[in-house]
Structure 1
């Protein structure tokens, strides 16, 4: 009797799943390209998260809870202000550049590629000087331990802003590694290297020393990115006259800046309010929780960064069916991976927090509260980019403004009594509220059912 090997049902299902995944990632259509680019971004952000996680663990152990809390507070201000001081150019580049290319307006395209960076650098430098003067004026009312780190933070902002602008330009050309690696891998590696060097040399690793390391890392990474970006642009964009249409750029960018500003305020309000009412070491614990959950938000970021300029291309071409299918694809590939990542992080959360130090394990219960908002928000995918690219920035900004207002009110209500648990609850409730508003806006204005499950058209 002959015996033949036949695959079992589980083996067949696994083989089929692998085949479908390979076809999805290796195909030549827009969905496959998007998945590959988003996968590239996600991998970069995961590596970056690993480096940032190592950096935060080392800093927390080398600096102690109080100095680490001060550093986190100042670095949060740098991230918040630096992300808003580019006028929204980093996001609007994914709308402006595809439109110039589609219309063949090479003069304005060349003008934008150079002029946008000069504009953001000059304005960021002027604002940084004013902020330093403001710190000087307010120094009698500021915690003395934060004054010098705040001055150093001001030095970071011009380079931080130019790096964001270059990131937007690179992503608009599908140069994802060039856009993201300098900020998220090179910069993090330099911060680790500089702070480790200071520690080995016997310096007391204060918040000021850590900020000096961060300043050097931001400037070096930005300059290196600029050199490579200029070379690639020189080979892909023909030389010729430049038209600097600053007014048109700002007309597109400022409404997007309004959206991005409210989003960033919503993202950082919890840490900033927590610093006002709770000790610095408690701020450090909360920040460790946020860093641990960062993998979930990276998935949303990866899909947003990949899809924004394609939303513009399909809308400009008038291809509504293609746009609708692309939006549905982006939402699906945002929600389900986010849900899986959340469950994994919650399962491993306690040992991951322990790496920061034994006292950081007290923040484990906060993770469950904070995770709710991230999962709910991922259920509608990158629809804020969809609204921005299709000209509905004001409606999107209104939704973010309402969510931000709710977050501020809830933080001030919850944080003094409940600390980090209150901050996480305030943020999760606000994110859920924002998700409902965005879902309703897209359904009403675009007729799309932007949810990871349910019917696809309204």
Structure 2
């Protein structure tokens, strides 16, 4: 099989293709909303979505990860009964948490809690949260079933297209789109994506033999797995959304709008890495529990090669033409986003030299240590943000975020090295490549 044929059949290439399409669609939706809302309202929209992501932590922190891991393990062990049981446990846990979320949101609203300067922001965020959770669980099931590439289609394609269509329809109907309306459109599109994904995975689930599991998993065991993975997941979600919350507290909503545009650019920078991670996580979920160091190292090296290449390749146009593109597409009022994007993008690209250590740590049962690493990095990021913000403004939050990310990766690389005696960083990858070359000679 020649190189081009292998490339065409590569799950990484197909996954990057989907993420690339998503990057374009997401960018278009970002431009649409940024121009319709203006910097301040677009910042409010971003704060509402970040709040929704944090509210959804009880749903999305551990449940999708536990489902993906247990479904993948059951599939490898050829236990269809256990797959059905895990899916049922996940669904029941999700339904149990829904009324708790609704009650908490209503109480917060009644007590006058405001989000992004609006009293209804908390209710809108609470509406978005379960939609995000349902879609995360759907993707987890598909990844666990070995459909890593297909699992991304509803989230990566259906959601941005749906958001654009719904926003356009609302604009024509009511002639005004505010941050709350934009968030509701996003939630509705997420629900549509979930329904499409559920339709895609339904035949595979129906094809599973309806038989008792070979290995029974009690409700207590499942909830314990969800809880331990939640510690890591909640830390990650908090880490990914703390910037917008800090901006809402330390700066104006206009500054949050500039940062939101920079994050839209970051979506293009990280899309290759996310696509690779979607495939790599499926493979690492099978390789890591077995403890085969050569297989883990090989998968890690392959992942790093694609992740580094894609992130630095995308950063080149950001560096050289990012500023005029932002001015032409978003408008001159968003020009301040370019320098923020440079800091975030370069910091993320550099962090890829540590390899997929977070995924390896998670699948190796090192959730508590990984969560500790994330929490330490979040604490450091917040501390640095308060230190840098008075000196360099919004850029201080971006710089603090990138430094926190690098610290997190360093700590997790240390945990993986102690667990497997494996150096999965770029240094280890180069060392293994040189050793293999010497053996061939």
Q: TM-score, normalised by structure 2?
A: 0.90
Q: Which runs of 5+ in 2 are unaligned?
A: 436-441
Q: 1:79-102: CA deviations, max 9, x gaps?
A: 333355235121233321232233
Residues 241-260 of structure 1: pairs in structure 2 closer than 5 A: 241=212, 245-260=218-233
Deviation at 1:451, TM superposition (A): 1.8
Residues 35-434 of structure 1: pairs in structure 2 closer than 5 A: 36-82=10-56, 85-139=59-113, 142=114, 145-235=117-207, 237-241=208-212, 245-354=218-327, 355-434=329-408
Which sits farther off after the overlay, 105-114 or 406-415?
105-114
CA distance in structure 2 between the aligned counterparts of 1:157 and 1:109, rounded to whole angstroms: 26
CA distance in structure 1 between the aligned counterparts of 2:413 and 2:291, rounded to whole angstroms: 22
Aligned partners of 2:70 and 2:144 also within 8 Å: no
CA distance in structure 2 between the aligned counterparts of 1:64 and 1:326, rounded to whole angstroms: 44
Distance 1:144 1:189, change over 3 A: closer
Q: 1:330-368: CA deviations, max 9, x gaps?
A: 222212222222223222211332212211112222222
Aligned partners of 1:40 and 1:176 also within 8 Å: no
Q: 1:409-456: CA deviations, max 9, x gaps?
A: 112222344332111111111112122212222222211111234323
Greater Rg over alpha carbons, structure:
1
CA distance in structure 2 between the aligned counterparts of 1:314 and 1:247, rounded to whole angstroms: 26
Deviation at 1:286, TM superposition (A): 1.0
Distance 1:443 1:318, change over 3 A: closer
- CA RMSD in angstroms comes to 2.4
Aligned partners of 2:22 and 2:156 also within 8 Å: yes
Aligned partners of 2:40 and 2:256 also within 8 Å: no
How many residue pairs were aligned? Answer: 429
CA distance in structure 1 between the aligned counterparts of 2:116 and 2:373, rounded to whole angstroms: 37
CA distance in structure 1 between the aligned counterparts of 2:222 and 2:111, rounded to whole angstroms: 34
CA distance in structure 2 between the aligned counterparts of 1:125 and 1:378, rounded to whole angstroms: 40
Aligned partners of 2:273 and 2:310 also within 8 Å: no
Distance 1:410 1:330, change over 3 A: same
Aligned partners of 1:450 and 1:456 also within 8 Å: no
Aligned partners of 1:289 and 1:353 also within 8 Å: no
Tell me if 1:456 matches 2:435.
no
CA distance in structure 2 between the aligned counterparts of 1:331 and 1:200, rounded to whole angstroms: 46
Which sits farther off after the overlay, 387-396 or 208-217?
208-217
Partner of 2:439: none
Q: Which runs of 5+ in 1 are unaligned?
A: 1-18, 27-32
Residues 22-33 of structure 1: pairs in structure 2 closer than 5 A: 22=4, 24-25=6-7
Q: Any idea what SS the aligned residue of 2:431 has? A: coil
Q: Any idea what SS the aligned residue of 1:353 has? A: helix
Distance 1:431 1:318, change over 3 A: closer
CA distance in structure 1 between the aligned counterparts of 2:397 and 2:162, rounded to whole angstroms: 31
Runs ≥4 in structure 1, deviation > 6 angstroms?
none
Aligned partners of 2:381 and 2:401 also within 8 Å: yes
